[in-house]
Each structure stands twice: as C-alpha cells, then as structure tokens.
C-alpha cells in the first residue's frame, strides 16, 4: 500500500510513499518521511493501492502517533473546504491540526510523584531521623498526606539522593504523571452550581424539537433558533446539551468572539458542576501548551463539552451529538486568512457528515440562514417572548441634527434626553450601558488652516488620537506616532481634534456625572489578562454605575439591573460601500438594545442618529426582524446579491499601485473568456480601503447562483496565470469583508 503525504511547511508538497510491512498507517496519521537528504514530518491524506511505475517509492520512516490525529469526518470536511473556498489543502490541514499539536517542540507536561508504598514502623523512623534526616522528613510528610502521594517538587530541592534511597528500600515508588495546563487555573472566580430553570411553553417546544434532532440526526435538518434578546436561548442550549450528554454523546459550542468564551465556559461549568473537568476550551488566545493539552484531552475523549471560537469547529470530538452556534449572524465566524472558511457554514457541513444535530441561535439571524428557513433547508424555531415575561425595552430615537441646531452648530456627545435619563438611573441606583463602536479619543487630528489630516503612512486612513497613551494610532495596521503640537504642513498651532471615541465619552461623563462610577470596555482598556472578566464581575456586583464600550459589550451579556442603554452615533456602520451595511446596523442596534430591561425593571434604549428614518434604525426600534428582512430581501433579490447568489471577491495587492491594477485587469480579461452563463463579473475597482499595510489593493466582485463553478472558474484562471513576484492575488468565496 502507498500513502499520500502532505509535507509540513509553507509549500504545498504532496508525495507518495510506500508503507513498510507491519506499519499500521491510516489516513489522518502523522508520519516522519525521507525528503531529499533530510527527514521531514507530514500528514497522511489517503491510503491507496500501488500503481504500476518504473521506479520504487521511498518508504515511510516512522509513525509519529499510532492513532490518526484527523478523523475521517474532519478529513472529508477539510477536502470540502479546499474545493469550495478554492484554498490549498495544506492551509486546511493547518487548521485541522493546529501548530501546537503539529510541532515536535510541544509535548505533554509531566511531573514526578512520590507514592508511599509501605508504612514505616516507628523504630525505622527513629533510625532515619538520626542517620538520614532528609529521608525521615520525606516519609513523615507522606504518612501525614491523605492520599499518601506528593509531587517531588513539593518536597523541596536537594532530595534526589534521599528519594532514590527510599525507593531502593521499598518505602516509596516514583512515578510520572501528566499535568494539565488549565486555561482557567489562575481564575479567582468560584464556580457555583446553577440548576436548570423552569422553561416557558415556547422554550419547552424548542427543547423538544432539538432533542428530537439529537435522537434522529440522520433525518434532522439544521435548526435556526430565532429568539428575541432575553428569550432564554442559553437555557435551551444548556438543557439540550444535557440531553445529548445523557445519551453518551459529546457537545460542541461555538461563540463568535474570544471575549464571549469565558462567560460561556462559566455558564456550562456552573450547570455541569459535577463534570467541570470534562469542559474544554479552544481559541487562539491559549498558550501553545494549553492548546496542546486541551486538543489532546478532546481527542482522547476526556472532554465531552468543547467551547471555543470559530477554529473550535475542527475539535476532534468523538461521538459528536450536538453543535450549538451562538450568535450565528456574527461576521467573526468568517476567517479572513487562508483558508477563508465560514465557521457557521462548516459547522452545518460537519453536522451533516457526522451526522449530529446542530442549532444556530440568534435574535437577528443572517439573511442567508433566514433564506434557508424559507426554502426549508433549515427548520425554524421561534421564541417571541422574553423568558421572564418582561416586555421588550422601549426604544427612543433622537435626531442629532436637531440637537446640533439647539447647540448652534456645536455637536454634543450626549443629547439632553440621554443625559437626563442617565441622571435618573443614577438617582434610582440602576445601571446603564453606553455603546459607541469606535475606540480612542478622537477620530482624527485636522488643521483648520490648511485642512491637513494626520494620515497613516501605510494605510489610506486617518490616525486616531488616543489620549491615554498620548499617541496617534492606525486602527488598520497598528502604526503609532507622536501627537504633533502644530500642523506639520503649515505649522499652525491651531490643530484640532475631530470626532470622538470611547475615551472622549469617558471624559465627558466624568464632567457631566461626577458622582457616577464608570468603566470602559474596548480593545485598549482590556489588554491585561482577565481584565474583561474582572470589569464585568464588578459591573455585575454593582460596583460600576455606567459601562462604556464598543461591540465587545453588544451581545451575550445579562445584567438584570441595567435599565438604560444609550447608543451613540448609530450611523457609524450605515454609510459604507457594502450591501450588508443595513443588515449589520440593524443586527448591532437590536443586539445592544437587548441588554436593557432583562430583569424585573422595564428597560429603555436611546438611539442617537443623524439618519432617524433609515429602515435599519426604524425596524430595530420596533424589534421587527420580519419587517426588516422582508424589505432587505427584496433589494437583495432584485440585484442578485446573497442569499440569492454566491459572492466572491478577487483581490490583487502590491506595493506598486500600477502593477496591482494591471495584474487584476489581465485576470479580468481571462475571466471573461468562457464565463459561465449565470455568472456576473464586475469591473476592476480600487478596494474601498485602497491602501493597507503599505500595499495598494484592487478587487473584482463575482456573483453566481452556483458556488462550485464560480470557484473552479477562478482557480482555473489563476492556475494558468503567472503573477509578478511582488503581486499577491487572493480569492475570497462568500466574502463578508469588501474593504
């Protein structure tokens, strides 16, 4: 038999090797192979009968791990990803088997344990106390330990000879055990048991249908759980997970962002307190050692619940029974680097391959998932009422054009209505949340004399002023520079700050509400490990009156004492060159508004906007997903946009602007040749963000009702085109980011 092996490394090298007699190699195994005059490692993609050939194949050197690290289902999933998204199989294997697992530099952490084999008699202890005090001390410690075992490291240094002597005389046994590097080991928060809640009638119906899918996965369709904010989707998740575990199956939980992982882990550990050690975490913020340990715990079946961000969709869980995709509409499920897969869609695919039940949950589902319910590819379950019986929060829209007129052209950050509402909540001892999806202090630094704006030297964006660091920062590439005291162009000292971010809001609040205790949550303030967790715990304990934040606080948070949510500059994401801009704005506003009124007190939401009549804002004000989706779907259908067609983006980037544009124009001509009948090919255009990380970018948009032919057509053209060395061309299938 022959093995087709993908060699580790940046190049996509695939070679056939003969399998030596007696070596039990399977697809998915990790092997060591001869490569030229060196030894290399790789992953077995397939096993096949040897073909007739004029030369003898070299044999595999050895098996790195006797068990396959990639299950047949995951290997099949990886092949599908490579074909559908038009990416290399090597990049997919890198996702299936993370670097922490592939690298030979990582291994299980171990420690030596001293185990008491026989109780020493008093006479022996007395003799040891005189002639071997160290042996006496070790035996005394072990005899007074409940389980008669202690780590050697706990016995102090310089005891090596004493331990060997005790082992030789049969008093102790030295053994080695693995030590788990627990991601939550340094957590100070105690996990308390949280028993199942009584479900309302809507939740009971939802749970019954999910349990039916778990019991009969072969015939079950993916489930879209559309529940308003606060409707109790998480409780349905938890009780459905319990049913899957009762059947001896495992559970995979996907969350859109790493920041949401700790609270999800806490909820599951609280519910399944008796099996906390069987809950594993997977995301990119883990150390190499933590990721190695968690991955192998999952593969060995020691963890029955896995919680993580999009990469956790490849967790090697055995006997998978249920996949839960929370906030399925979130763009962060889409991978922006090769392989550019969508975590939600891959989760649906994996559920079909396993097979197992899958639940996609959201208060504002993506129009792609909503369309799948309309065409009966997905099964729709709705939760229309909040679980606690409370009504949805009242949403008020404030026209900031009128506020500016009142202030005679000066634009206030807080409207009169919002400031008054904040004061009232403070007097009542209630809490508030202020949302602004822009970090920093000011959007830009501009000279009123000559119009100069401080720009990033590598990207086509203005630098944002951060007062806490006294730096100008690019939010695209991370470039920083000092703040000029006068205009670099005309030397005028009257350089002004334009716009505002969360740091500016924090400063304004300190002046307007000096007695209020507030905190800020954004990427700048949450750099310290566990800073987010500590801030949210303080807010939960009512040590903070007002929480200011970006989209990190937009979803998944449950604080019963929050009765007011203020949304500042709600237009930020509305006026961008993207057909999904309205959908994203509606989703974000609805999610943020859902943080209010989740307890016994009624909630209120105040939305500050310059375009109050926008459909996205008006439908969000009424919590009307059906109304928004109906009018948005008409627009998408008329122009053949997703979900009625697949959309791919071909981007060329280079440090030479003309070369990037010319390369894409050449590809455009070749793409026109033999263009499939139902495919729409756009023109070569500059990307909305024309320059990023020092490279100029141009793009072509392609649309088609069929995904595979679109990918094959693009890949065929790229395969026969020789690109300039300094030009990079990438293809993004089902693209979400057009900037």
Residue 624, CA atoms < 13 Å, CB-side half-sphere: 13
Backbone angles phi, psi at 431, to 5 degrees: -110, 160
Across the range 377-394, mean pLDDT stands at: 91
Cα 365 to Cα 330: distance, rounded to the nearest angstrom: 9
Q: What is the pLDDT of residue 187?
A: 54
> What is the Cα 506 distance to its own chain's centre?
28
pLDDT tens string 125-137: 887 888 888 888 8
Is there a cis peptide before residue 571, judged by omega within 30 degrees of 0?
A: no
The neighbouring-strand residues paired with 427 are none
Q: What is the pLDDT of residue 526?
A: 85
Provide long-range contacts, Cβ within 8 A and 24+ apart, for 477-480. Answer: 477/692, 477/693, 477/694
Mean pLDDT lowest among 48-57, 76-85, 600-609: 48-57
Q: What is the pLDDT of residue 85?
A: 96
527 token code pair: 């750099």
User: Of 89, 102, 70, which is closest to residue 318 (Cα–Cα)?
Assistant: 70
The full DSSP string for 602-663 is --EEEEEES-TT-HHHHHHHTT-HHHHHHHHHHHHHHTT-TTSSEEEEEEEEESSHHHHHHH
Cα 729 to Cα 710: distance, rounded to the nearest angstrom: 16
Residue 532, CA atoms < 13 Å, CB-side half-sphere: 20
Q: Which of the pair, 583 or 181, is modelled with greater confidence?
A: 583
Q: What is the pLDDT of residue 127?
A: 79
Across the range 550-554, mean pLDDT stands at: 85
User: Of 147, 145, 152, 146, which is closest to residue 167 (Cα–Cα)?
Assistant: 152
| DSSP-based helix, strand, coil % in the chain, nearest 5 | 35, 25, 40
Could you tell me whether strands 305-308 and 250-254 are parallel, antiparallel, or unpaired per DSSP bridges?
A: parallel
Is there a cis peptide before residue 355, judged by omega within 30 degrees of 0?
A: yes
Across the range 560-585, mean pLDDT stands at: 92
Rounded to the nearest integer, the mean pLDDT of the chain is 91
Could you tell me whether strands 444-446 and 62-63 are parallel, antiparallel, or unpaired per DSSP bridges?
A: unpaired
Given a cut of 70, is residue 22 above it in pLDDT?
Answer: yes
Cα 565 to Cα 434: distance, rounded to the nearest angstrom: 6
- Give the global pTM: 0.91
Angle at 652 between CA 648 and CA 656, to 5 degrees: 165
pLDDT tens string 233-285: 999 999 999 999 999 999 999 999 887 787 888 889 899 988 888 999 998 88
Q: What is the pLDDT of residue 694?
A: 96
Q: What is the pLDDT of residue 286?
A: 86
Given a cut of 90, is residue 169 above it in pLDDT?
Answer: no
Cα 687 to Cα 733: distance, rounded to the nearest angstrom: 16
Instruction: Kindly provide the residue ranges of all beta strands, DSSP E only, lying in 14-120, ordered along the sequence.
Output: 14-18, 30-35, 38-48, 62-63, 110-116
Backbone angles phi, psi at 305, to 5 degrees: -125, 125
Q: What is the pLDDT of residue 141?
A: 87
Q: Which of the pair, 531 or 455, is modelled with greater confidence?
A: 455
pLDDT tens string 432-491: 999 999 999 999 999 999 999 999 999 999 999 999 889 999 999 999 999 998 999 999
Across the range 623-645, mean pLDDT stands at: 96
Confidence of residue 190 (pLDDT cuts 50, 70, 90): low
The helix/strand count (H/E) of the chain reads as: 21, 31
**Which range scores top for mean pLDDT: 90-94, 147-151, 732-736?**
732-736
Helix (H, G, I), strand (E, B) or coil at 666: helix
């Amino acid at each position: 038999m022959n093995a087709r092996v993908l060699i580790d490394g940046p190049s996509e090298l695939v070679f056939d090797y003969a399998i030596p007699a007696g070596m039990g190699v399977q697809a998915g195994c990790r092997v060591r192979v001869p490569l030229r005059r060196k030894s290399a490692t790789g992953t077995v993609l397939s096993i096949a009968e040897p073909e007739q050939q004029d030369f003898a194949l070299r044999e595999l050197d050895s098996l790195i791990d006797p068990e396959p690290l990639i299950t047949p289902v995951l290997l099949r999933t990886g092949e599908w990803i490579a074909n559908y998204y038009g990416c290399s199989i090597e990049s997919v294997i890198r996702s299936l088997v993370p670097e922490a697992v592939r690298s030979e530099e990582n291994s299980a952490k171990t420690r030596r344990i001293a185990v008491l084999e026989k109780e020493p008699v008093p006479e022996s202890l007395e003799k040891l106390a005189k002639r071997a005090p160290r042996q006496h001390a070790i035996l005394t410690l072990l005899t007074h330990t409940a389980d008669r075992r202690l780590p050697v490291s706990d016995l102090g240094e310089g005891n090596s000879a004493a331990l060997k002597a005790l082992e030789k005389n049969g008093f102790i046994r030295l053994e080695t055990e693995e030590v788990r590097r627990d991601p939550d080991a340094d957590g100070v928060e105690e996990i308390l048991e949280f028993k199942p809640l009584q479900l309302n009638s809507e939740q009971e119906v939802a749970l019954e249908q999910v349990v039916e899918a778990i019991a009969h996965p072969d015939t079950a369709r993916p489930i879209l759980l559309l529940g308003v904010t606060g409707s109790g989707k998480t409780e349905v998740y938890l009780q459905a997970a319990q049913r899957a575990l009762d059947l001896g199956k495992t559970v995979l939980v996907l969350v859109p962002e790493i920041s949401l992982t700790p609270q999800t882990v806490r909820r599951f550990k609280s519910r399944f307190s008796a099996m906390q050690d069987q809950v594993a975490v997977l995301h990119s913020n883990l150390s190499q050692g933590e990721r190695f340990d968690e991955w192998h715990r999952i593969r060995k079946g020691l963890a029955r619940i896995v919680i993580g961000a999009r990469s956790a969709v490849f967790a090697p869980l055995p006997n998978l029974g249920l996949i839960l995709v929370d906030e399925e509409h979130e763009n962060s499920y889409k991978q922006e680097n090769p392989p550019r897969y969508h975590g939600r869609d891959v989760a649906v695919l994996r559920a079909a391959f396993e097979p197992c039940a899958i639940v996609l949950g959201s208060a504002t589902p993506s129009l792609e998932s909503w369309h799948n319910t309309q065409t009966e590819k997905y099964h729709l379950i709705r939760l229309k009422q909040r679980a606690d019986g409370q009504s949805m929060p009242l949403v008020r829209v404030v026209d900031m054009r009128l506020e500016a007129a009142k202030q005679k052209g000066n634009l206030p950050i807080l409207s009169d209505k919002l400031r008054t509402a904040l004061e009232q909540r403070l007097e009542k001892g209630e809490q508030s949340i202020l949302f602004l999806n822009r970090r920093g202090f000011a959007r830009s630094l501009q000279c009123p004399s000559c119009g100069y704006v401080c720009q990033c030297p590598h990207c086509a964006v203005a630098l944002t002023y951060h007062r806490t660091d006294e730096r100008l920062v690019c939010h695209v590439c991370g470039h920083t520079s000092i703040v000029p005291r006068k205009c670099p162009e005309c030397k005028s000292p009257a350089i002004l700050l334009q716009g505002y971010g969360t740091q500016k809001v924090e400063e304004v609040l300190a002046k307007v509400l000096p007695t209020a205790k507030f905190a800020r949550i954004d990427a700048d303030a949450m750099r310290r490990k566990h800073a987010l967790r500590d801030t949210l715990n303080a807010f939960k304990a009512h040590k903070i009156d007002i929480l200011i934040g970006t989209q990190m606080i937009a979803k998944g948070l449950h604080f019963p004492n929050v009765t007011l949510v203020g949304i500042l500059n709600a237009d930020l994401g509305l006026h961008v060159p993207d057909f999904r801009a309205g959908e994203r704005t509606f989703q974000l506003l609805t999610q943020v508004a859902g943080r209010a009124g989740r307890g016994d007190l009624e909630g209120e939401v105040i939305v500050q906007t310059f375009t109050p009549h926008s459909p996205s804002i008006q439908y969000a004000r009424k919590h009307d997903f059906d109304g928004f989706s109906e009018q948005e779907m008409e627009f998408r259908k008329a122009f053949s946009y997703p979900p009625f067609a697949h959309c791919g983006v071909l981007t060329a980037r280079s440090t030479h602007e003309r070369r990037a544009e010319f390369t894409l124009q050449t590809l455009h001509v070749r793409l026109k040749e033999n263009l499939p009948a139902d495919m729409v090919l756009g023109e070569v255009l500059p990307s909305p963000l024309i320059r990023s990380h020092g490279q100029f970018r141009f793009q072509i948009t392609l649309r088609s009702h069929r995904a595979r032919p679109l990918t094959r057509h693009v890949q065929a053209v790229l395969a026969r085109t020789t690109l300039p060395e300094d030009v990079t061309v990438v293809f993004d299938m089902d693209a979400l980011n057009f900037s």
